Amino acid sequence: MKITDVRTILLTAPIPPERRWRSDLGTNTKFNLAIVVVETDEGIIGYGEAKGEALAMKTIVEHRLKPALVGEDPTRVEYLWEKLYSGSRLGLALKYGRPYHGHNLRGEVLCAISGVDVALWDIFGKSLGVPIYKLLGGGIRSRVRAYGSGGWAPPGKAGAELAGYAEKGFTAVKMRVGGLDDEDFPNRSIARLREVRETLGPKIDIMMDAHGALTVIQATQLARAAEEFRISWFEEPVIAADDLRGMVEVRQRTTIPIATGENQQTRFEFQEILDARAADVLQPDIAIAGGITETRRIADLAYARGIVVAPHNWGSAILWAASVQFAAATANCIILEFCQAYNPLLYDLVTTPIAVAKDGYVDVPTGPGLGIELQPDLEKKYPFEGD
């Protein structure tokens, strides 16, 4: 089998005004999506999601990455990862057993490589008629625990918002704190946390996410006040990429586990977090960090140190499926994010179900590759409106 074409499908799903949500990151008015499509001479087509800016993904995939892929055997997934990463120095990389970082490789280029990697795993599975988790060692679990992720509502509504997730079946939920409560920080965040814990009772796990919006002192104040609410993790108290020492300081000052990683890429950046002992939970995003191939390496590094992974999973049904396949096969992946925002590209992109069971678990799709079927005519349903 040979790769014949590599291209992107760009989509936009507008968010109607009544379904929008606001956080310190702004108000979301639409979801954009760049799907990487890898075609083969046997008619098997693989799909991946690349989480960079959509037009940048199109340019990088179709102009920088495609020439290295056409004519290659798509089932040589790890070889092609090395080829895309090391570029013209692939020969040196394979001779000396280490990657050769090319020019301008991080950021958007790594997002594009991530999308290609997932599409290649999808083809590999489809070519053998097995789900991806079978190729990753056979599978650790047939169901994956998921947590309902959202939680932007103001005081007075926060408890009902998170209780809505629990009513769907989730036994763990995550809410946003920090920057969106800036008008009265930390009191507003603490009031919302108290309301959510009192509404949910003692049995539901609660996580909190600050989007890296706090200083070390602010994060410490919030963490210490939140300890009484039994918070399962404090996500991105500060920005790991800019202040890893600060994250270590926060971790040392609280008993709440620290989670981070949705903005990090490659095993090298995650190794820095592990070496610094900055986090208890790593959250690589498969569509950002380097695809399934690199996220497995990240998980193995963490596993050696007793650290768990909980993939960041905020995107379309393609990222959802890749994350579920990864979680099914990875021993130290104990829980997965499940976006609770209005997101038609998660629920309506595919003909296969995207749902959590009443006990808080998702069933792992057992169909070939990613185990999902895309709806027809996606570009007509969700015409791209630009970045």
Q: Could you list the active site residues?
A: 312
The answer to whether 4 and 41 are in contact (CB under 8 A) is yes
Please tell me whether residue 285 binds Mg ion under the rule CB under 5 A: no
Query: Helices 158-168 and 187-200 meet at what angle, rounded to 10?
Result: 40
Q: Sort residue 21 into left (φ over 0), alpha (ψ -120 to 50) or beta.
A: beta
Residues 298 and 292: their CA atoms lie apart, in Å, by: 10
Q: What is the DSSP letter of 333?
A: B
Q: Which residues within the stretch 10-29 sit at the binding site for Mg ion (CB under 5 A)?
A: none
Reduce the DSSP state of residue 214 to 3 states and report it: coil
Q: Which residues within the stretch 301-330 sit at the binding site for Mg ion (CB under 5 A)?
A: none
**The one segment of 76-84, 101-109, 125-133, 203-211 that binds Mg ion by CB under 5 A:** 203-211
Give me the least distance between CB of 262 and Mg ion, in Å please.
5
Q: Report the residue number, 117 or 209, with the smaller CB distance to Mg ion.
A: 209
Residues 258 and 271: their CA atoms lie apart, in Å, by: 16
- Contact map string, positions 226 to 265, toward Mg ion, x by CB under 5 A: ---------x------------------------------
Alpha-carbon separation of residue 93 from 64, 96, 116, 261, 293 (angstroms)? 19, 5, 20, 26, 17
**End-to-end C-alpha distance for the chain, whole angstroms:** 35
Q: Total number of residues binding Mg ion (CB under 5 A)?
A: 2
For residues 373, 374, 377 and 378, what is the CA-based torsion angle, rounded to 10 degrees?
170
Q: Which residue's beta carbon is nearest to the bound Mg ion?
A: 209
Q: What is the DSSP letter of 280?
A: S
Give me the least distance between CB of 328 and Mg ion, in Å please.
22
Run of H or E residues at 296 = helix 291-303
Q: Report the residue number, 86 or 264, with the smaller CB distance to Mg ion.
A: 264
Structure tokens at 160: 């009902």
**The one segment of 63-71, 205-213, 272-280, 378-386 that binds Mg ion by CB under 5 A:** 205-213
Q: Report the residue number, 135 or 299, with the smaller CB distance to Mg ion.
A: 299
Q: Report the residue number, 161 or 209, with the smaller CB distance to Mg ion.
A: 209
Please tell me whether residue 209 binds Mg ion under the rule CB under 5 A: yes
**The one segment of 127-135, 204-212, 297-305, 374-382 that binds Mg ion by CB under 5 A:** 204-212
Q: Report the residue number, 49 or 209, with the smaller CB distance to Mg ion.
A: 209
Q: Report the residue number, 174 or 296, with the smaller CB distance to Mg ion.
A: 174
Give me the least distance between CB of 104 and Mg ion, in Å please.
26
For residues 349, 371, 39 and 293, what is the CA-based torsion angle, rounded to 10 degrees?
110
The number of beta carbons lying within 10 Å of the beta carbon of residue 300 is 14
The number of beta carbons lying within 10 Å of the beta carbon of residue 305 is 11
Q: Report the residue number, 246 or 369, with the smaller CB distance to Mg ion.
A: 246
Give me the least distance between CB of 322 and Mg ion, in Å please.
18
Give me the least distance between CB of 28 and Mg ion, in Å please.
14
Give me the least distance between CB of 312 and Mg ion, in Å please.
6
Q: Report the residue number, 181 or 235, with the smaller CB distance to Mg ion.
A: 235
Please tell me whether residue 161 binds Mg ion under the rule CB under 5 A: no
Give me the least distance between CB of 33 and Mg ion, in Å please.
19
User: Burial of 167 by CB count in 10 Å (0-12 exposed, 13-18 middle, 19+ buried)?
Assistant: exposed
Structure tokens at 150: 């959202």
Alpha-carbon separation of residue 32 from 7, 54, 110, 322 (angstroms)? 16, 7, 18, 18
Reduce the DSSP state of residue 3 to 3 states and report it: strand
Q: Which residues bind Mg ion (CB under 5 A)?
A: 209, 235
